[in-house]
Structure 1
Amino acid sequence: MTRLLVKLLGFLVVSLVDSSSLSTNFLSVTYTVGEQAVLPCSWRPRLGALASCHVQWQTTASAAVFEQLGAQRWQAEGYGGRVEVPEEKLVSGDCSLVISDVQLGDTGRYESFMVVDGERSKKTRVFIQGVKLSVFDHKSHQVRCPGEDLVLDLQSSHSARVVFQGRNSSEWSELWMKGDENSLRLEKDPLKEQLTVKNLRRSDEGTYKVLDGHGLSISTVQLAVQGACTRVRVHDEMKSEISGDAIKSSCSLLLLCFGLVTSFQIPRLF
């Protein structure tokens, strides 16, 4: 009911006239998947004062994204629970759109409008701001030793699966899907968006991709599994043992010297 009411107010009230610029200057903002994106917007420079704050956001393809009039809000499918224009900021002139847990699919050009009263009780949409949103996936390169664990940060609650491509392979295999039970080598953290690959082997070396439900990339991890780490640990242990032996030898030498000095001093006492 609320959705229909807002839609009627926004798009079907009497005659809705767009007052938009044909030569839109788009602001550019860049985020990585999972972050909170803010699409800047301020209506005061264009309108000065308003009797009511009725804001609309859409893509340049005229696809509605968000609309708000007072306590009434409408969000497009795919943005549900992720978009808002804070009301306390809106009434003071800030009509910025906040997109939580931003996704690769949110990339695009957005436009904001304020709906105002026009002549003869007609509603007019006044163009406010154009924003170009660019979203990129996370990329990293990690090095682990055989037997260690790899913790994959899933980055977002929209993470649906993890696929793997071996170092010398051209094929992708499915490693994990959301809802899978933990196994001996794969464990999903019950609280955090993290997946742990346990007891790494050389065959685990390659590329790991975290994908959303649409198959879009959320993160890419290049993993190298190197055996040199084991030798380094053994070398460190050997150095530690050598250092301990050296300390013990020094203490023994000091005790021996102390004993010799004492043996020379005792006859003099008599």
Structure 2
Amino acid sequence: MKMHGIDRDRHVIHLHCLWIVGCVASSSLPSGPLSISSPVGSQAILPCKWKSQLDNVPVCHILWQTPDAPVFEQNGEQRWQASEFEGRLEVPGEKLWEGDCSLILRDVQFGDVGLYESFMVVDRKRRKRRVFIQSVHLSVYDHKSKLSMGMGEDLVLTLHTPQAMRVVFQGRNSTEWKVLWMRGDGKVNGGRLEEAEGVVVLRGLRLDNSGTYKVLDSHGLSVSTVKLTVEEVAKTQKIIHIQDKPVGKSTVYRSSSLLIVFVLLISPLIQHLV
């Protein structure tokens, strides 16, 4: 019986040790994908640190890919990026040797949403192998704002990205969307609309300009939404003027009362002299 108890205790200790080893091993495994969120048209940084996975490497050969295809590769001075990302991707070389293989993605678009994985390509004994570094999930959202402006002011709509193609407007009491601006179309861009670098300006707001303005990209997706309320500035000024009137009236009444009291006081004196 005693030996049976000892065996049972050894079995429990063995299971406990296996559980500890399993916990330690699982803690050393790469974690799940990081989540990065970015507004459309801005710059996103997909983090990557290769020194946590590798020792010194003779050449920094970094590869970024989606589950479908490679998007960026850099091997020393040689760089390549997929056509849909042309001119928008970079891994700074000066930081790469320090262990930072983060991918900079400029002018983020809705089509960039998804999972990205980074690998270091290691050449050891004429055999290349890919070492997984990090996975990052990128999500993209549009810009939203509410504005309250006065009549006669100018509404400045930021386009946020060179991919912005149209500005549409829906009046407060309307269900119809009207195209106010279209890139490269001078016929649409007439009237009070002016196009400047990265913005569209609506001059001299009127009350009927209250409503919703949307900037749309080439796919018709909303880059930004602005809900505008135009207030009649003249009414506000009139209210301020009306509030000033009681002050003036009370001054007149006070002056009249003092004059009556003065006359009543000197009347007996005048009668005595007469």
Q: TM-score higher than 0.5 here?
A: yes
Alignment of 1:1-270 (within 5 A): 25-59=32-66, 61-118=67-124, 121-181=126-186, 182-189=189-196, 192-227=197-232, 229-236=233-240
State the distance in 2 between where 1:84 and 1:212 align: 24
Query: 1:237 offset after TM fit, Å?
Result: 6.0
State the distance in 2 between where 1:24 and 1:167 align: 48
Q: What is the SS of the residue equivalent to 1:88?
A: helix
Write out per-residue CA displacement over residues 32-62 of structure 1, whole angstroms, 9 at most, x where no aligned residue.
1222211100111111111101111111x23
Q: Is the 8 A contact 2:216 2:224 kept in 1?
A: yes
Q: What is the SS of the residue equivalent to 1:234?
A: helix
State the distance in 2 between where 1:146 and 1:108 align: 44
The one-letter code of the counterpart of 2:202 is: V
- Structure (1/2) with the larger helix percentage: 2
Query: 1:87 offset after TM fit, Å?
Result: 0.5
Larger Rg: 2
Cα 1:195–1:122, aligned 2, differ >3 Å: closer, same or farther? same
Write out per-residue CA displacement over residues 172-228 of structure 1, whole angstroms, 9 at most, x where no aligned residue.
222111123453310011xx311111222333222111112222221111112233x
Q: Is the 8 A contact 2:30 2:134 kept in 1?
A: no
Q: Which has the higher contact order (CA 8 A, sep 6+)?
A: 1
Scaled by the length of structure 2, the TM-score of the pair is 0.72
Cα 1:43–1:234, aligned 2, differ >3 Å: closer, same or farther? same
Q: Is the 8 A contact 1:41 1:95 kept in 2?
A: yes
Identity between Structure 1 and Structure 2 (%): 52
State the distance in 2 between where 1:155 and 1:188 align: 13
Cα 1:140–1:118, aligned 2, differ >3 Å: closer, same or farther? same
Unaligned runs of 5+ in 2: 1-28, 253-274
State the distance in 2 between where 1:167 and 1:220 align: 14
Query: 1:234 offset after TM fit, Å?
Result: 3.4
The one-letter code of the counterpart of 1:131 is: V
Unaligned runs of 5+ in 1: 1-21, 250-270
Scaled by the length of structure 1, the TM-score of the pair is 0.73
